[in-house]
């Protein structure tokens, strides 16, 4: 269930000891809430999006942001038959499979790897048939701009969103005494949310 941005904005201003929003204006608080929501969803992936990737013959590397601007982190990839491609833990793992991996081709891809934050490597590249893959990723949540909007993350994630926003507001006002405690609380919350069954 989503929360009202106006409610969260008032709540976080109270927590940051600025209930009348004189140190940071309402629109700025909403902007920070928006950023915090995107960060939390990037970590927890509670809101996901599915996109399709039509493969190009002999191409193994695909830019993520230009193809899927609403994607934060790739979670899984399936081929047309519903088979999951196996993820490499990191891009360097491809070198252990074959040093000539960029030029290898096959009738169907078997795995994928991420290179940095914006490159997706499909291994091996397809030779002639051009299947379409389905990519599930954590969604870059919609930018919040007004109090009339609602958040996209679940209510369970609200405290983590508020923690990040509170830390940012305290940093902005140079009130550093509680920032480390808030960051530690955020880390604990995130670990707890990661282990909760979905």
Q: What is the 3-state secondary structure (H, E, C) of 77-104?
A: EECCCCCECEECCCCCHHHHHCCCHHHC
Cα separation, 136 vs 153, in Å, equals 17
Query: Residue 67 class from Cβ within 10 Å (0-12 exposed, 13-18 middle, 19+ buried)?
Result: middle
Question: ∠ CA 137-143-146 to the nearest 5 degrees?
Answer: 150
Neighbouring C-beta atoms of residue 81, cutoff 10 Å:
7
Helix 26-44 with 158-172: angle, nearest 10 deg: 130
Q: pLDDT 10s per residue in the chain (198 long)? A: 578 999 999 998 888 888 888 888 889 999 999 999 999 999 999 999 999 999 999 998 999 988 899 999 999 999 988 899 999 876 666 667 677 777 888 888 999 988 888 899 998 989 887 789 999 999 999 999 998 999 999 888 989 999 999 999 888 878 778 888 999 999 999 999 888 776
CA distances from 173 to 121, 170, 176 (A): 42, 5, 8
Instruction: Say how many residues make up the chain.
Output: 198
Report whether 36 contacts 92 (CB < 8 A).
no
């Amino acid at each position: 269930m989503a929360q009202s941005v106006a409610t969260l904005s008032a709540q976080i201003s109270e927590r940051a000891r600025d209930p009348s929003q004189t140190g940071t204006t309402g629109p700025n608080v909403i902007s920070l809430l928006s950023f915090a929501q995107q960060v939390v969803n990037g970590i927890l992936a509670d809101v996901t999006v599915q996109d399709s990737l039509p493969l190009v013959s002999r191409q193994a590397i695909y830019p993520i942001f230009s193809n899927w601007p609403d994607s934060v982190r790739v979670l899984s990839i399936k081929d047309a038959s519903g088979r999951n491609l196996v993820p490499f833990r990191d891009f360097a793992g491809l070198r252990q499979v074959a040093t000539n991996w960029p030029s290898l081709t096959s009738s169907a891809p078997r795995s994928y790897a991420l290179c940095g934050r914006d490159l997706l490597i499909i291994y091996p590249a397809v030779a002639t048939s051009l299947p379409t893959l389905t990519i599930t990723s954590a969604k870059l949540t919609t930018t919040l701009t007004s109090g009339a909007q609602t958040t996209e993350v679940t209510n369970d994630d609200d405290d983590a969103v508020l923690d990040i926003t509170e830390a940012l507001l305290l940093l902005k006002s140079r009130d550093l005494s509680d920032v480390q405690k808030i960051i530690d609380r955020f880390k604990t919350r995130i670990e707890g949310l990661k282990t909760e069954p979905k």
